Amino acid sequence: MSGILRLTWRYLCYHRMRTVILLVCLALTFLLPIYLHLLIQAYESGLTKRARETPLVLGPRGNQFELVLRTLYFADSAKIPRGLSLAHQQEIEARRRATVIPMHLEYTARKFPVVGTSLDYFEHRQLRPLEGTPPLVLGDAVLGSEVARALQLGPGDRLLTDQTSLYNIAAEQPLNLRITGVLPPQRTPDDHAVFVDVKTSWVIGGIGHGHDDLEAPENQNQLLGKEEDGALIGSAAVAPYREITQANLSSFHFHGEPKDLPLTALIVIPHDSKSATILKGHYQLSKTVQLLPPVDVVQDLLAIVFKVKRFFDASFALVLAMTSLFLLLVMILTWKLRQRERQTLVRIGCARPTVFWLQLSELTLLLVAGIALALALAWILYAVTRHLQWMPL
């Protein structure tokens, strides 16, 4: 058998061009299905793992997929309809059956999502800054590892949020965030986000703001006068601060009732299974909000993905059949062209079954080499592109 393999190897090496063409055809046939399988498995594992780590999500009634993708993966989907507020968080906390994490996701900074949340989020996701501290003060921000790498920023630097309206100068103005920490790589959507306290996100939206100190000498030109009760009257030049510093931090305040302070969603972590059941029952008939287990929503989404994958598998099977027929045609033509060669082998004492085994070993080596090349290329392609799988959707 070793002699047959040696003769086959010598023959393939002698006809290099034909061998290379056949190998490339075989490798390309197997490359896409193998790579797609690796990628879908990675997506399934990552999506399911993060969903299982998040017991429940509360949000306005509407598209379940958008709510879960927006809350867990910061997906850049259509805006979730408003309707959730701080009052909903206070309502759940009053029941004392779950830990509630607010999520405010309406703004971006250099095209990266700005996630307004609380310190409970960092504890729940087990996030510890690689350097610096979490967002402890109004205006603080912590960068995901990919954000810090892409923007080349670190603790002590500043990051300006994106303008919400290009043509409306009366819209919310950008806020200059103070970077206090950078998170280690997690291979999750957290790597591609900017984290701030939920109150900071309200400041970005114009709900909270501070004012100039009109009694300061440098601001005397903005002072119009005083009322009878001693209140200062400022001119139109008095504008809300768009940068929070130690000097003006105490002047920031928020307007409105808790029901007016908006949230995108709430991550609800029940204390036990009984609490989870009670909370689900409470919001089951609600016409304004919905309480969802993210793992069920993600599984429904993956079921759609796998249906599409079956269509591609059928297409790959057709391509494989065409390639097999092409390879069969090449082998038949080669068999006819090598007729004199086979006659010579028989005349010098080679048994006829040996000639058959030579042809079969040639086909086997080509198939094995083609599949091996496809596996190697698919793994290289997956290693190069796998970091893209957690880009915001």
* Distance separating alpha carbons of residues 294 and 59, to the nearest angstrom: 12
Helices then strands, counting H and E runs in the chain, come out as 11, 14
Q: Fill in the DSSP letter of residue 135.
A: -
How many CB atoms are closer than 10 A to CB 325? 10
User: 159 by DSSP, 3-state: which?
Assistant: strand
Task: Name, in order, each residue with C-beta under 8 angstroms of 50's C-beta and a sequence gap of 6 or more.
Answer: 72, 73, 188, 189, 294
Q: Is the entire prediction scored with pTM above 0.75?
A: no
pLDDT recorded at residue 209: 64
pLDDT recorded at residue 391: 45
Q: Can you say how many angstroms the Cα of residue 56 is from the centroid of all Cα atoms in its chain? A: 19
Handedness of CA 91, 94, 96, 101 (dihedral sign): positive
Of all residues in the chain, what percent are helix, strand and coil, respectively (each to 5)? 55, 15, 30
pLDDT recorded at residue 159: 93
Task: Name, in order, each residue with C-beta under 8 angstroms of 236's C-beta and a sequence gap of 6 or more.
Answer: none
pLDDT recorded at residue 393: 44
Q: Are 362 and 12 in contact (CB under 8 A)?
A: yes
* Distance separating alpha carbons of residues 393 and 386, to the nearest angstrom: 14
* Distance separating alpha carbons of residues 26 and 21, to the nearest angstrom: 9
User: 39 by DSSP, 3-state: which?
Assistant: helix
pLDDT tens for each residue of the chain, 393 residues long = 566 777 777 777 877 888 888 888 888 888 888 888 888 787 777 778 889 999 999 999 888 888 998 999 888 755 667 789 999 999 999 989 999 999 999 899 999 999 999 999 999 999 999 888 999 888 899 999 999 999 999 999 999 998 876 555 545 678 889 999 999 998 889 999 999 999 999 888 878 666 555 455 555 555 445 545 444 444 444 444 477 777 777 777 677 677 788 999 999 999 999 999 999 998 888 888 999 999 999 888 888 877 777 777 777 788 778 777 877 777 777 777 767 776 776 777 776 676 667 777 877 888 888 889 989 998 888 887 765 544 444
pLDDT recorded at residue 62: 84
